[in-house]
Structure 1
Amino acid sequence: MMELSSVIDDYMAKTTGLKKFCDRCLKSERWSGNVVLMVVDAAFDSIGLNYFNSIVPKVVEFEEAFVENGEVNNLKDLSQLPHEQVKNIWANKRSWSVAKSVASYLHESGRNGGLNDRKALREWARNTSLEGWKQDPIGKIGGVGLTTYQYLRMMGGVDTAMPDKIVKRVIEEILDKAEVKMPTNKDLEFIKTIDQIATISGYRPIEICWMTWLVQSEGDKIRMEKYRDTLDRI
Protein backbone atom coordinates (compact mmCIF):
# COMPACT_ATOMS: atom_id res chain seq x y z
CA MET A 1 0.00 0.00 0.00
CA MET A 2 1.32 3.43 -0.96
CA GLU A 3 0.68 6.42 1.25
CA LEU A 4 -1.84 8.86 -0.17
CA SER A 5 0.72 11.66 -0.37
CA SER A 6 3.08 9.40 -2.36
CA VAL A 7 0.34 8.50 -4.84
CA ILE A 8 -0.47 12.18 -5.32
CA ASP A 9 3.25 12.93 -5.79
CA ASP A 10 3.40 10.37 -8.62
CA TYR A 11 0.52 12.05 -10.43
CA MET A 12 1.82 15.55 -9.82
CA ALA A 13 5.24 14.62 -11.18
CA LYS A 14 3.63 14.41 -14.63
CA THR A 15 2.39 18.01 -14.53
CA THR A 16 5.49 20.21 -14.56
CA GLY A 17 4.44 23.86 -14.71
CA LEU A 18 1.05 23.28 -13.11
CA LYS A 19 1.78 25.48 -10.09
CA LYS A 20 2.53 28.49 -12.31
CA PHE A 21 -0.74 28.00 -14.20
CA CYS A 22 -2.74 27.69 -10.96
CA ASP A 23 -1.04 30.80 -9.56
CA ARG A 24 -2.26 32.73 -12.60
CA CYS A 25 -5.75 31.36 -12.15
CA LEU A 26 -5.86 32.43 -8.50
CA LYS A 27 -4.62 35.90 -9.45
CA SER A 28 -7.42 36.20 -12.04
CA GLU A 29 -4.80 36.35 -14.79
CA ARG A 30 -6.11 33.65 -17.10
CA TRP A 31 -6.80 34.78 -20.67
CA SER A 32 -4.29 37.61 -20.10
CA GLY A 33 -6.47 38.87 -17.25
CA ASN A 34 -9.51 39.40 -19.49
CA VAL A 35 -12.55 38.75 -17.30
CA VAL A 36 -14.87 38.72 -20.33
CA LEU A 37 -13.02 35.68 -21.67
CA MET A 38 -12.99 34.02 -18.23
CA VAL A 39 -16.77 34.34 -18.03
CA VAL A 40 -17.24 33.11 -21.61
CA ASP A 41 -14.90 30.19 -20.84
CA ALA A 42 -16.90 29.18 -17.75
CA ALA A 43 -20.24 29.57 -19.56
CA PHE A 44 -19.19 27.53 -22.59
CA ASP A 45 -17.74 24.88 -20.29
CA SER A 46 -21.06 24.58 -18.45
CA ILE A 47 -22.49 22.15 -21.02
CA GLY A 48 -19.76 19.55 -20.51
CA LEU A 49 -17.90 19.44 -23.83
CA ASN A 50 -14.21 18.53 -24.11
CA TYR A 51 -12.40 21.55 -22.71
CA PHE A 52 -9.27 21.69 -24.85
CA ASN A 53 -10.79 20.43 -28.10
CA SER A 54 -14.11 22.27 -27.98
CA ILE A 55 -14.21 25.06 -25.41
CA VAL A 56 -10.81 26.72 -25.75
CA PRO A 57 -10.97 27.03 -29.58
CA LYS A 58 -14.43 28.62 -29.32
CA VAL A 59 -13.30 31.11 -26.67
CA VAL A 60 -10.38 32.03 -28.94
CA GLU A 61 -12.79 32.40 -31.86
CA PHE A 62 -15.00 34.67 -29.73
CA GLU A 63 -11.95 36.70 -28.74
CA GLU A 64 -10.93 37.18 -32.36
CA ALA A 65 -14.45 38.09 -33.48
CA PHE A 66 -15.54 40.40 -30.66
CA VAL A 67 -12.71 41.34 -28.29
CA GLU A 68 -9.83 42.09 -30.61
CA ASN A 69 -11.95 44.49 -32.68
CA GLY A 70 -13.16 46.34 -29.57
CA GLU A 71 -16.82 45.36 -29.85
CA VAL A 72 -16.75 43.66 -26.44
CA ASN A 73 -14.41 45.51 -24.11
CA ASN A 74 -15.92 44.68 -20.75
CA LEU A 75 -18.61 42.77 -18.86
CA LYS A 76 -21.23 45.40 -19.65
CA ASP A 77 -20.66 44.88 -23.37
CA LEU A 78 -20.82 41.11 -22.90
CA SER A 79 -24.08 41.33 -20.95
CA GLN A 80 -25.70 43.17 -23.86
CA LEU A 81 -24.45 40.98 -26.71
CA PRO A 82 -27.42 39.06 -28.19
CA HIS A 83 -27.11 35.39 -29.04
CA GLU A 84 -28.02 36.20 -32.63
CA GLN A 85 -24.60 37.80 -33.06
CA VAL A 86 -22.63 34.88 -31.66
CA LYS A 87 -24.66 31.88 -32.82
CA ASN A 88 -22.25 31.15 -35.68
CA ILE A 89 -19.54 30.68 -33.04
CA TRP A 90 -21.64 29.25 -30.23
CA ALA A 91 -25.06 27.76 -30.98
CA ASN A 92 -26.12 26.83 -27.44
CA LYS A 93 -28.53 29.52 -26.22
CA ARG A 94 -28.66 28.33 -22.62
CA SER A 95 -24.93 28.61 -21.99
CA TRP A 96 -24.82 31.95 -23.82
CA SER A 97 -27.53 33.11 -21.42
CA VAL A 98 -25.24 32.01 -18.58
CA ALA A 99 -22.43 34.19 -19.96
CA LYS A 100 -24.69 37.23 -20.28
CA SER A 101 -26.31 36.78 -16.86
CA VAL A 102 -23.02 36.28 -15.02
CA ALA A 103 -21.55 39.29 -16.84
CA SER A 104 -24.59 41.40 -15.97
CA TYR A 105 -24.44 40.53 -12.27
CA LEU A 106 -20.70 41.14 -11.98
CA HIS A 107 -20.93 44.40 -13.92
CA GLU A 108 -23.74 45.73 -11.73
CA SER A 109 -22.09 44.68 -8.48
CA GLY A 110 -18.81 46.18 -9.65
CA ARG A 111 -20.45 49.43 -10.70
CA ASN A 112 -22.20 49.71 -7.34
CA GLY A 113 -18.91 49.17 -5.54
CA GLY A 114 -16.76 51.29 -7.84
CA LEU A 115 -14.81 48.24 -9.02
CA ASN A 116 -13.44 47.28 -12.41
CA ASP A 117 -14.35 43.91 -13.92
CA ARG A 118 -11.42 42.02 -12.43
CA LYS A 119 -11.97 43.43 -8.96
CA ALA A 120 -15.71 42.75 -9.25
CA LEU A 121 -15.03 39.07 -9.99
CA ARG A 122 -12.55 38.82 -7.13
CA GLU A 123 -14.82 40.63 -4.67
CA TRP A 124 -17.71 38.34 -5.57
CA ALA A 125 -15.53 35.24 -5.17
CA ARG A 126 -14.12 36.46 -1.85
CA ASN A 127 -17.62 36.72 -0.41
CA THR A 128 -18.90 33.37 -1.65
CA SER A 129 -19.07 30.06 0.15
CA LEU A 130 -19.30 26.46 -0.96
CA GLU A 131 -22.28 25.58 1.21
CA GLY A 132 -24.22 28.70 0.22
CA TRP A 133 -23.85 28.30 -3.50
CA LYS A 134 -27.56 27.80 -4.24
CA GLN A 135 -28.40 31.08 -2.48
CA ASP A 136 -25.67 33.02 -4.28
CA PRO A 137 -26.86 35.43 -7.05
CA ILE A 138 -24.66 33.65 -9.59
CA GLY A 139 -25.52 30.21 -8.22
CA LYS A 140 -29.20 31.05 -8.83
CA ILE A 141 -28.67 31.73 -12.54
CA GLY A 142 -30.29 29.08 -14.73
CA GLY A 143 -27.61 26.84 -16.20
CA VAL A 144 -25.08 27.54 -13.46
CA GLY A 145 -24.45 24.32 -11.60
CA LEU A 146 -21.98 23.77 -8.78
CA THR A 147 -19.14 23.00 -11.21
CA THR A 148 -19.56 26.32 -13.06
CA TYR A 149 -19.93 28.17 -9.75
CA GLN A 150 -16.72 26.62 -8.45
CA TYR A 151 -14.90 27.35 -11.71
CA LEU A 152 -15.78 31.04 -11.47
CA ARG A 153 -14.73 31.12 -7.81
CA MET A 154 -11.36 29.62 -8.75
CA MET A 155 -10.80 32.24 -11.45
CA GLY A 156 -11.83 34.84 -8.88
CA GLY A 157 -9.08 33.76 -6.51
CA VAL A 158 -10.59 31.01 -4.34
CA ASP A 159 -8.41 27.94 -3.88
CA THR A 160 -10.97 25.18 -4.32
CA ALA A 161 -11.97 22.42 -6.76
CA MET A 162 -14.79 21.38 -9.08
CA PRO A 163 -16.89 18.19 -8.76
CA ASP A 164 -16.36 17.40 -12.44
CA LYS A 165 -16.77 13.77 -13.57
CA ILE A 166 -13.12 13.50 -14.66
CA VAL A 167 -11.92 14.98 -11.37
CA LYS A 168 -14.04 12.43 -9.51
CA ARG A 169 -12.78 9.53 -11.58
CA VAL A 170 -9.11 10.36 -11.02
CA ILE A 171 -9.54 11.11 -7.32
CA GLU A 172 -11.34 7.79 -6.81
CA GLU A 173 -8.50 6.07 -8.68
CA ILE A 174 -5.96 7.76 -6.39
CA LEU A 175 -7.87 6.78 -3.26
CA ASP A 176 -8.09 3.18 -4.50
CA LYS A 177 -4.34 3.02 -5.09
CA ALA A 178 -3.69 4.39 -1.61
CA GLU A 179 -6.37 2.11 -0.14
CA VAL A 180 -7.94 5.09 1.58
CA LYS A 181 -11.66 5.59 1.99
CA MET A 182 -13.02 9.13 1.71
CA PRO A 183 -16.49 10.28 0.59
CA THR A 184 -16.77 11.05 -3.13
CA ASN A 185 -20.41 10.45 -4.09
CA LYS A 186 -22.03 13.77 -3.19
CA ASP A 187 -20.60 16.92 -4.75
CA LEU A 188 -20.12 18.97 -1.59
CA GLU A 189 -18.51 16.14 0.34
CA PHE A 190 -16.31 15.38 -2.67
CA ILE A 191 -14.95 18.93 -2.70
CA LYS A 192 -14.25 18.63 1.02
CA THR A 193 -12.45 15.34 0.33
CA ILE A 194 -10.15 17.21 -2.06
CA ASP A 195 -9.53 19.74 0.71
CA GLN A 196 -8.50 16.85 2.97
CA ILE A 197 -6.22 15.39 0.31
CA ALA A 198 -4.66 18.83 -0.13
CA THR A 199 -3.92 19.07 3.59
CA ILE A 200 -2.37 15.59 3.62
CA SER A 201 -0.34 16.01 0.43
CA GLY A 202 0.76 19.63 0.69
CA TYR A 203 -0.71 20.54 -2.71
CA ARG A 204 -3.47 23.09 -3.13
CA PRO A 205 -7.02 22.00 -4.02
CA ILE A 206 -6.82 23.92 -7.30
CA GLU A 207 -3.63 22.05 -8.24
CA ILE A 208 -5.19 18.69 -7.47
CA CYS A 209 -8.26 19.63 -9.52
CA TRP A 210 -6.34 20.73 -12.62
CA MET A 211 -3.93 17.83 -12.33
CA THR A 212 -6.78 15.36 -12.81
CA TRP A 213 -7.58 16.84 -16.24
CA LEU A 214 -4.01 17.34 -17.36
CA VAL A 215 -2.86 13.75 -16.71
CA GLN A 216 -5.52 12.45 -19.12
CA SER A 217 -4.08 10.94 -22.29
CA GLU A 218 -4.95 12.17 -25.78
CA GLY A 219 -3.20 10.15 -28.44
CA ASP A 220 0.36 9.41 -27.37
CA LYS A 221 0.66 12.34 -24.95
CA ILE A 222 -0.94 13.48 -21.73
CA ARG A 223 -2.78 16.80 -21.94
CA MET A 224 -0.10 18.60 -19.89
CA GLU A 225 2.39 17.92 -22.69
CA LYS A 226 -0.02 18.25 -25.60
CA TYR A 227 -1.53 21.55 -24.51
CA ARG A 228 1.43 23.19 -22.75
CA ASP A 229 1.47 26.15 -25.17
CA THR A 230 -2.29 26.52 -24.81
CA LEU A 231 -1.99 26.63 -21.02
CA ASP A 232 0.56 29.42 -21.33
CA ARG A 233 -1.98 31.42 -23.33
CA ILE A 234 -5.05 30.78 -21.21
Structure 2
Amino acid sequence: MMELSSVIDDYMAKTTGLKKFCDRCLKSERWSGDVVLMVVYAAFDSIGLNYFNSIVPKVMEFEEAFVKNGEVNNLKDLSQLPHEQVKNIWANKRSWSVAKSVASYLHESGRNRGLNDRKALREWARNTSLEGWKQDPIGKIGGVGLTTYQYLRMMGGVDTAMPDNIVKRVIEEILDKAEVKMPTNKDLEFIKTIDQIATISGYRPIEICWMTWLVQSEGDKIRMEKYRDTLDRI
Protein backbone atom coordinates (compact mmCIF):
# COMPACT_ATOMS: atom_id res chain seq x y z
CA MET A 1 0.00 0.00 0.00
CA MET A 2 1.34 3.42 -0.99
CA GLU A 3 0.54 6.47 1.06
CA LEU A 4 -2.02 8.71 -0.61
CA SER A 5 0.41 11.62 -0.79
CA SER A 6 2.98 9.41 -2.56
CA VAL A 7 0.43 8.30 -5.15
CA ILE A 8 -0.53 11.92 -5.81
CA ASP A 9 3.17 12.83 -6.12
CA ASP A 10 3.61 10.17 -8.82
CA TYR A 11 0.75 11.63 -10.87
CA MET A 12 1.83 15.22 -10.32
CA ALA A 13 5.37 14.42 -11.46
CA LYS A 14 3.99 14.02 -14.99
CA THR A 15 2.56 17.54 -15.11
CA THR A 16 5.49 19.94 -15.17
CA GLY A 17 4.19 23.50 -15.50
CA LEU A 18 0.81 22.75 -13.95
CA LYS A 19 1.25 25.16 -11.04
CA LYS A 20 1.89 28.08 -13.40
CA PHE A 21 -1.24 27.26 -15.40
CA CYS A 22 -3.35 27.03 -12.22
CA ASP A 23 -1.92 30.30 -10.93
CA ARG A 24 -3.10 32.01 -14.13
CA CYS A 25 -6.54 30.50 -13.73
CA LEU A 26 -6.87 31.73 -10.14
CA LYS A 27 -5.74 35.21 -11.20
CA SER A 28 -8.46 35.26 -13.90
CA GLU A 29 -5.76 35.41 -16.56
CA ARG A 30 -6.84 32.54 -18.77
CA TRP A 31 -7.46 33.48 -22.41
CA SER A 32 -5.18 36.50 -21.93
CA GLY A 33 -7.49 37.73 -19.18
CA ASP A 34 -10.48 38.11 -21.53
CA VAL A 35 -13.58 37.35 -19.43
CA VAL A 36 -15.71 37.12 -22.59
CA LEU A 37 -13.65 34.13 -23.74
CA MET A 38 -13.71 32.59 -20.24
CA VAL A 39 -17.50 32.70 -20.21
CA VAL A 40 -17.81 31.39 -23.77
CA TYR A 41 -15.35 28.64 -22.94
CA ALA A 42 -17.24 27.56 -19.80
CA ALA A 43 -20.54 27.55 -21.70
CA PHE A 44 -19.16 25.53 -24.61
CA ASP A 45 -17.61 23.06 -22.19
CA SER A 46 -20.98 22.51 -20.48
CA ILE A 47 -22.16 19.95 -23.05
CA GLY A 48 -19.28 17.51 -22.55
CA LEU A 49 -17.42 17.57 -25.87
CA ASN A 50 -13.70 16.81 -26.13
CA TYR A 51 -11.84 19.63 -24.42
CA PHE A 52 -8.79 20.11 -26.63
CA ASN A 53 -10.14 18.83 -29.93
CA SER A 54 -13.56 20.51 -29.84
CA ILE A 55 -14.00 23.18 -27.19
CA VAL A 56 -10.68 25.04 -27.37
CA PRO A 57 -10.66 25.31 -31.21
CA LYS A 58 -14.24 26.61 -31.20
CA VAL A 59 -13.44 29.27 -28.60
CA MET A 60 -10.47 30.32 -30.72
CA GLU A 61 -12.74 30.44 -33.77
CA PHE A 62 -15.18 32.63 -31.85
CA GLU A 63 -12.33 34.89 -30.78
CA GLU A 64 -11.19 35.27 -34.38
CA ALA A 65 -14.68 35.98 -35.69
CA PHE A 66 -16.04 38.29 -32.99
CA VAL A 67 -13.41 39.48 -30.52
CA LYS A 68 -10.46 40.41 -32.69
CA ASN A 69 -12.62 42.47 -35.03
CA GLY A 70 -14.08 44.42 -32.11
CA GLU A 71 -17.67 43.21 -32.45
CA VAL A 72 -17.62 41.67 -28.96
CA ASN A 73 -15.51 43.75 -26.61
CA ASN A 74 -17.10 42.94 -23.27
CA LEU A 75 -19.75 40.94 -21.44
CA LYS A 76 -22.48 43.39 -22.42
CA ASP A 77 -21.74 42.78 -26.10
CA LEU A 78 -21.70 39.02 -25.49
CA SER A 79 -25.04 39.11 -23.68
CA GLN A 80 -26.64 40.75 -26.74
CA LEU A 81 -25.14 38.52 -29.43
CA PRO A 82 -27.92 36.34 -30.93
CA HIS A 83 -27.37 32.69 -31.64
CA GLU A 84 -28.13 33.29 -35.32
CA GLN A 85 -24.81 35.11 -35.65
CA VAL A 86 -22.72 32.36 -34.08
CA LYS A 87 -24.51 29.17 -35.12
CA ASN A 88 -21.99 28.49 -37.90
CA ILE A 89 -19.35 28.27 -35.17
CA TRP A 90 -21.47 26.86 -32.37
CA ALA A 91 -24.73 25.08 -33.20
CA ASN A 92 -25.85 24.22 -29.67
CA LYS A 93 -28.45 26.86 -28.82
CA ARG A 94 -28.81 25.85 -25.15
CA SER A 95 -25.15 26.30 -24.29
CA TRP A 96 -25.08 29.59 -26.21
CA SER A 97 -27.96 30.69 -24.01
CA VAL A 98 -25.77 29.81 -21.01
CA ALA A 99 -23.01 32.07 -22.34
CA LYS A 100 -25.41 34.98 -22.89
CA SER A 101 -27.17 34.57 -19.55
CA VAL A 102 -23.96 34.34 -17.53
CA ALA A 103 -22.57 37.35 -19.40
CA SER A 104 -25.76 39.31 -18.75
CA TYR A 105 -25.75 38.59 -15.02
CA LEU A 106 -22.07 39.41 -14.55
CA HIS A 107 -22.38 42.59 -16.62
CA GLU A 108 -25.39 43.86 -14.68
CA SER A 109 -23.95 42.97 -11.27
CA GLY A 110 -20.66 44.63 -12.22
CA ARG A 111 -22.33 47.73 -13.64
CA ASN A 112 -24.32 48.20 -10.45
CA ARG A 113 -21.08 48.19 -8.45
CA GLY A 114 -18.93 50.11 -10.89
CA LEU A 115 -16.81 47.03 -11.67
CA ASN A 116 -15.22 46.00 -14.98
CA ASP A 117 -15.82 42.50 -16.34
CA ARG A 118 -12.83 40.88 -14.65
CA LYS A 119 -13.65 42.40 -11.27
CA ALA A 120 -17.31 41.43 -11.68
CA LEU A 121 -16.36 37.79 -12.26
CA ARG A 122 -13.99 37.79 -9.28
CA GLU A 123 -16.50 39.57 -7.03
CA TRP A 124 -19.17 37.02 -7.93
CA ALA A 125 -16.81 34.09 -7.35
CA ARG A 126 -15.64 35.48 -4.00
CA ASN A 127 -19.22 35.66 -2.74
CA THR A 128 -20.39 32.26 -3.97
CA SER A 129 -20.49 28.99 -2.06
CA LEU A 130 -20.42 25.35 -3.02
CA GLU A 131 -23.36 24.34 -0.86
CA GLY A 132 -25.56 27.19 -2.06
CA TRP A 133 -24.85 26.80 -5.75
CA LYS A 134 -28.45 26.00 -6.74
CA GLN A 135 -29.67 29.23 -5.16
CA ASP A 136 -26.95 31.34 -6.79
CA PRO A 137 -28.12 33.58 -9.67
CA ILE A 138 -25.70 31.81 -12.06
CA GLY A 139 -26.50 28.39 -10.61
CA LYS A 140 -30.16 29.04 -11.42
CA ILE A 141 -29.47 29.61 -15.13
CA GLY A 142 -30.83 26.78 -17.25
CA GLY A 143 -28.00 24.62 -18.54
CA VAL A 144 -25.58 25.59 -15.77
CA GLY A 145 -24.73 22.46 -13.83
CA LEU A 146 -22.37 22.16 -10.90
CA THR A 147 -19.37 21.52 -13.15
CA THR A 148 -19.93 24.74 -15.14
CA TYR A 149 -20.60 26.65 -11.91
CA GLN A 150 -17.34 25.37 -10.40
CA TYR A 151 -15.44 26.12 -13.60
CA LEU A 152 -16.54 29.76 -13.47
CA ARG A 153 -15.66 29.97 -9.78
CA MET A 154 -12.16 28.67 -10.50
CA MET A 155 -11.60 31.21 -13.26
CA GLY A 156 -12.91 33.84 -10.84
CA GLY A 157 -10.20 32.99 -8.33
CA VAL A 158 -11.66 30.24 -6.12
CA ASP A 159 -9.34 27.30 -5.42
CA THR A 160 -11.73 24.40 -5.88
CA ALA A 161 -12.46 21.46 -8.20
CA MET A 162 -15.18 20.09 -10.47
CA PRO A 163 -17.13 16.82 -10.34
CA ASP A 164 -16.28 16.06 -13.97
CA ASN A 165 -16.39 12.38 -15.00
CA ILE A 166 -12.69 12.27 -15.87
CA VAL A 167 -11.78 13.91 -12.57
CA LYS A 168 -13.87 11.33 -10.72
CA ARG A 169 -12.36 8.41 -12.60
CA VAL A 170 -8.76 9.43 -11.92
CA ILE A 171 -9.42 10.29 -8.27
CA GLU A 172 -11.09 6.91 -7.75
CA GLU A 173 -8.05 5.28 -9.38
CA ILE A 174 -5.74 7.17 -7.02
CA LEU A 175 -7.77 6.25 -3.95
CA ASP A 176 -7.79 2.62 -5.06
CA LYS A 177 -4.00 2.55 -5.44
CA ALA A 178 -3.59 4.08 -1.99
CA GLU A 179 -6.27 1.74 -0.58
CA VAL A 180 -8.07 4.72 0.92
CA LYS A 181 -11.84 5.04 1.21
CA MET A 182 -13.34 8.47 0.59
CA PRO A 183 -16.77 9.38 -0.81
CA THR A 184 -16.85 9.98 -4.57
CA ASN A 185 -20.42 9.22 -5.67
CA LYS A 186 -22.25 12.44 -4.78
CA ASP A 187 -20.91 15.58 -6.43
CA LEU A 188 -20.70 17.80 -3.34
CA GLU A 189 -19.07 15.04 -1.32
CA PHE A 190 -16.64 14.39 -4.13
CA ILE A 191 -15.47 18.02 -4.23
CA LYS A 192 -14.94 17.87 -0.47
CA THR A 193 -12.97 14.65 -0.97
CA ILE A 194 -10.61 16.56 -3.28
CA ASP A 195 -10.28 19.19 -0.55
CA GLN A 196 -9.24 16.42 1.86
CA ILE A 197 -6.74 15.02 -0.63
CA ALA A 198 -5.34 18.52 -1.09
CA THR A 199 -4.82 18.88 2.67
CA ILE A 200 -3.08 15.50 2.87
CA SER A 201 -0.90 15.94 -0.22
CA GLY A 202 -0.02 19.63 -0.01
CA TYR A 203 -1.33 20.35 -3.51
CA ARG A 204 -4.19 22.75 -4.19
CA PRO A 205 -7.63 21.41 -5.18
CA ILE A 206 -7.35 23.19 -8.55
CA GLU A 207 -4.01 21.47 -9.23
CA ILE A 208 -5.43 18.05 -8.39
CA CYS A 209 -8.43 18.72 -10.63
CA TRP A 210 -6.40 19.82 -13.65
CA MET A 211 -3.86 17.05 -13.15
CA THR A 212 -6.57 14.44 -13.71
CA TRP A 213 -7.26 15.81 -17.21
CA LEU A 214 -3.68 16.44 -18.21
CA VAL A 215 -2.35 12.95 -17.38
CA GLN A 216 -4.79 11.41 -19.86
CA SER A 217 -3.08 9.83 -22.85
CA GLU A 218 -3.77 10.84 -26.45
CA GLY A 219 -1.75 8.78 -28.88
CA ASP A 220 1.77 8.31 -27.55
CA LYS A 221 1.72 11.39 -25.28
CA ILE A 222 -0.17 12.60 -22.26
CA ARG A 223 -2.17 15.79 -22.76
CA MET A 224 0.26 17.84 -20.66
CA GLU A 225 2.95 17.15 -23.25
CA LYS A 226 0.77 17.12 -26.36
CA TYR A 227 -0.98 20.41 -25.64
CA ARG A 228 1.71 22.31 -23.72
CA ASP A 229 1.77 25.18 -26.24
CA THR A 230 -2.02 25.41 -26.16
CA LEU A 231 -2.02 25.55 -22.37
CA ASP A 232 0.32 28.52 -22.52
CA ARG A 233 -2.24 30.24 -24.76
CA ILE A 234 -5.35 29.49 -22.74
How far is the alpha carbon of 1:222 from its aligned partner?
A: 0.1
Ranges of 4+ aligned residues in structure 1 off by more than 4 Å: none
* SS of the residue 2:166 aligns to: helix
Aligned length: 234
Within 5 Å, which residues of 2 pair with 1:32-43? Answer: 32-43=32-43
CA distance in 2, matches of 1:141, 1:231: 29
Structure 1 stretches of 5 or more lacking a match? none
Residues 101-153 of structure 1 deviation map (CA, whole Å, 9 limit, x = unaligned): 00000000000000000000000000000000000000000000000000000
1:37 and 1:26 mapped to 2: Cα distance?
15
Cα deviation for residue 2 of structure 1 reads 0.2
Instruction: Measure, in 1, the Cα distance between the counterparts of 2:186 and 2:53.
Output: 28
Cα distance in 1, alignment partners of residues 187 and 50 from structure 2:
20
Please list every run of 5 or more consecutive structure 2 residues that lacks an aligned counterpart in the other structure: none
For residue 180 of structure 1, give the secondary structure of its aligned residue in structure 2.
Answer: coil
CA distance in 1: counterparts of 2:87 and 2:220, whole angstroms: 34
Measure, in 2, the Cα distance between the counterparts of 1:103 and 1:184.
32
Matches of 1:78 and 1:14 in 2, distance apart? 37
Q: Distance in 2 between matches of 1:97 and 1:144?
A: 10
Alignment map for 1:148-163 (pairs within 5 Å): 148-163=148-163
- Give the Cα–Cα distance (whole angstroms) in 1 for the partners of residues 120 and 96 of structure 2: 20
Displacement after TM superposition at 1:11 (Å): 0.1
The TM-score with structure 2 as length reference comes to 1.00
Q: CA–CA distance in 2 between the matches of 1:113 and 1:136?
A: 18
- The Cα offsets for residues 50-95 of structure 1, whole Å up to 9 and x where unpaired, read as 1000000000000000000000000000000000000000000000
Tell me the equivalent position of 2:109: 109
Separation (CA, whole Å) in 2 of partners of 1:113 and 1:195: 32
Shift of 1:209: 0.1
